[in-house]
A = this chain, B = another copy of it.
Amino acid sequence: MTEATVGRRERKKEETRRRIFVSALQLFQEKGFQSTTIDDITERADVAKGTFFNYFPRKEAVIEYLAEEWLQVAEDVVARPGPVGPRLIELYAGAARAYEENPDLAQMVLRTSMQRFCCPAPEGPWRRFDELVMALIREGQASGELRSDLGARVLYGVLASCFVGALMWWFGERSEDPDPSLRDVTLTQAVATLQATALDGLKVRKEA
Q: Is the CB of B158 within 8 A of A165?
A: yes
A197 CB-CB contact with B under 8 Å: yes
Stretch of A2-10, A45-53, A69-77, A111-119 contacting B (4+ beta carbons < 8 Å):
A111-119
Q: Is the CB of B158 within 8 A of A198?
A: yes
A110 CB-CB contact with B under 8 Å: yes
Q: At the interface, is chain A mostly helix, strand, loop or mixed?
A: helix
Q: How far is the CA of A202 from the CA of B165 in the complex (A)?
A: 13
Q: Which residues of B contact A120 (CB under 8 A)?
A: 171, 174-175
| Most B-side CB within 10 Å, residue of A151, A159, A169 | A169
Given contacts A158-B161, A160-B165, 14 further A-B contacts (CB under 8 A): A111-B118, A114-B114, A114-B115, A121-B175, A153-B173, A154-B194, A156-B165, A157-B166, A157-B167, A161-B168, A161-B198, A196-B201, A200-B201, A201-B201
Q: Would you give 22 A-B contacts (Cβ < 8 Å), ordered by A? A: A110-B118, A111-B114, A114-B114, A114-B115, A120-B174, A151-B169, A153-B168, A153-B176, A154-B193, A158-B161, A158-B165, A158-B194, A158-B197, A160-B165, A161-B163, A161-B168, A162-B198, A164-B164, A196-B201, A197-B201, A197-B202, A198-B201
